[in-house]
């Protein structure tokens, strides 16, 4: 019999500490598969954030850094500018990228650092126990907005990839989701394209992946998938928002 789906080489055999049903595991696998398929594992240097995926350096089977909270794009800049031959990627969550790290991601994108940023957006701060994130939906209940996010008091969620797509520096900026098999396939294609562009020294690449957090949303994995589809997809449209050649961009079909 022929194996048509197996364990990627770019993932260590470790079992992860992620909650049951957490899409972090899926997204780790997609990144690892992309690195394997493009034969980039031996040139890769990943940068783990502070957040649920803080231990990502134990899960990716390539050279890794642990960065300070929010600073992964700056660390990635240092790595890429010192060793441009390395394939540098960061893997960040809502707090890391959209809160404390907002300056770093904007400037790394604006300088056109040829890195790949994987932004896992689950509308909440997972590791610290379910606090409000810049990406938390209006009305969503978290431990620091127990009456639901009030846009008068806390403002609206930030659409990071839209923000970054307004920069002039060429980039590949996309948003995908991870809650159904179709979305996982689209996410994989997009992530692989991002790494392929980095391998060609093309531009800054970033993929935002809408993800679930069953534990802190207080839902089962299955209910969490539905919650994402119902609440996050309308606000965070999927698609490739920017391509380096400025070609026509459009929403992913069938999403």
Partner 1 sequence: MAKVLMKGCEAIGEAAIRAGCRNFFGYPITPQTEVPEYLAKRFPEVGGVYIQAESEVASINMLYGGAGTGKRVLTSSSSPGISLMAEGVSYIAASHLPVVMVNIVRAGPGLGGILPAQSDYLQATKGLGHGDYRLVVLAPSSVQEAVDLMYQAFDLADKYLTPVMVMGDGMIGQMMEPVEMPEMRDLDDLPAKEWAVTGARGRKPNIVNSLYLSEVACNENNWKLKKKYDEIIKTEKRWETYDCDDDMDLLIVAYGTMARICKTAADELAGENLKLGVFRPITLWPYPYEALEQTAAKANRILVVEMSTGQMVEDVQLAMLGKKQIDFYGLTGGMVPSPDDVADQVRKLLK
Partner 2 sequence: MPKIVVDIQRCKGCERCVEVCPQGVISMSKQLNQKGYFYAQATNQSRCIGCTFCALNCPDVAIEVFVHGTQYKFIEY
- Residue 199 neighbours by CB distance under 10 Å: 15
Q: Footprint of partner 2 on this chain (CB under 8 A)?
A: 1-8, 11, 15-16, 18-26, 29, 180-181, 184-185, 188-189, 214, 220-222, 225
Asked if 18 touches partner 1 (CB under 8 A), the answer is no
Tell me which of 86, 137, 176, 228 binds partner 1, using CB under 8 A.
86
Strands 87-92 and 116-121: parallel
3-class DSSP state of 65:
strand
The binder of 26, among partner 1, partner 2, none, by C-beta within 5 to 8 A per type, is partner 2
* Alpha-carbon distance values, 168 to 59, 193, 239 (Å): 35, 20, 19
Contact 99, 134 (CB under 8 A): yes
Asked if 44 touches partner 1 (CB under 8 A), the answer is yes
Closer to partner 2 by Cβ: residue 181 or 250:
181
* Alpha-carbon distance values, 148 to 140, 141, 152, 229 (Å): 5, 4, 12, 19
- In the block, tokens 């531009």 appear at 203
The binder of 180, among partner 1, partner 2, none, by C-beta within 5 to 8 A per type, is partner 2
Residues 110-149 that bind partner 1 (CB under 8 A): 111
Closer to partner 2 by Cβ: residue 105 or 118:
118
């Amino acid at each position: 019999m022929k194996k048509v789906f197996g364990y990627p080489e770019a993932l260590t055999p470790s079992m992860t500490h992620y909650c049951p049903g957490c899409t972090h595991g899926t997204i780790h696998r997609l990144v690892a598969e992309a690195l394997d398929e493009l034969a980039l594992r031996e040139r890769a240097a990943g940068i783990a954030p502070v957040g649920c995926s803080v231990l990502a350096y134990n899960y990716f089977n390539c050279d890794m850094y642990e960065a300070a909270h929010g600073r992964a794009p700056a660390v990635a800049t240092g790595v890429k500018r010192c060793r441009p031959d390395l394939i540098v990627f960061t893997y960040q969550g809502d707090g890391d990228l959209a809160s404390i790290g907002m300056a770093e991601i904007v400037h790394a994108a604006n300088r056109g650092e040829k890195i790949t940023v994987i932004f896992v957006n689950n509308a909440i701060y997972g590791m610290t126990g379910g606090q409000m994130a810049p990406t938390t939906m209006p009305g969503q209940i978290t431990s620091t907005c127990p009456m639901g996010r009030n846009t008068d008091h806390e403002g609206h969620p930030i659409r990071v990839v839209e923000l970054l797509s307004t920069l002039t520096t060429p980039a590949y900026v996309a948003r995908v989701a991870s809650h159904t098999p179709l979305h996982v396939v689209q996410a994989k294609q997009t992530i692989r394209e991002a790494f392929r562009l980095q391998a060609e020294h093309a531009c800054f690449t970033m993929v935002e992946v809408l993800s679930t957090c069953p534990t802190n949303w207080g839902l089962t994995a299955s209910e969490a998938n539905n919650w994402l589809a119902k609440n996050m997809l309308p606000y965070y449209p999927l698609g490739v928002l920017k391509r380096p050649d400025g070609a026509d961009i459009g929403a992913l079909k069938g999403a």
